Amino acid sequence: MSSDEGTTGGEASGLDAEEIARLDHQWIRSILPHRYPFLLVDRVVELVPERSIVALKNVTQNEEFFQGHFPGKPIMPGVLVIEALAQAAGLLLLYDRPELHGRVIYFVGIENAKFRNPVTPGDQVRLHVEILRARRNHARFACRATIGDLVAVECVASSMIGREEK
């Protein structure tokens, strides 16, 4: 993809199992600046470079946000599910682009957010992100978080790659 054009049509091939196995939690931490308790992606399970990613967030009872949201009926805040989707989008943007590693990706917009089903302790959330358009420093994504066959959250998100720190 050129720096000033969006993604193009056609079939793209994903990474093989060996390549996906390398995209573990250590790799995620080397790409994203987020740390506990705000690192919300546990593993990558599918990746088609410059096109799409599927990542996982394993939700446990020990998540700090459950202490207050809501006591006795824990539900993961929808905005944190969107943040997890944004982090997966960041991994997709930065994959195979070492010149951008260490740069911060800013979440700059969200459209058509729908919160369809709650995320609760014990759920494994699949974070599906597809690039709708990517340009040099900006990108737009179709995002969907699922639990099994249920859609939990869906939205269109936009991001901007921050300038390199001097």
For residue 137 the two structure tokens come to 């420093």
Q: Give the neighbor-by-neighbor strand order of the sheet with 138-147.
A: 43-48, 52-58, 124-134, 138-147, 150-161, 105-115
> Residue 23 has which token pair?
């995209």
What residues does 82 pair with on adjacent strands? none
| Active-site residue, from 69, 101, 128, 138 | 69
Say which DSSP state 155 is in.
E
Type and span of the H or E element at 56:
strand 52-58
Q: How many Cα atoms occupy the beta-carbon half-sphere of 102 within 13 Å?
A: 5
Question: Any catalytic annotation for residue 138?
Answer: no
Closest CA to 56 of 3, 125, 115, 123: 125
The closest alpha carbon to 85, from 153, 25, 23, belongs to 153
Q: Give catalytic residue positions.
A: 69
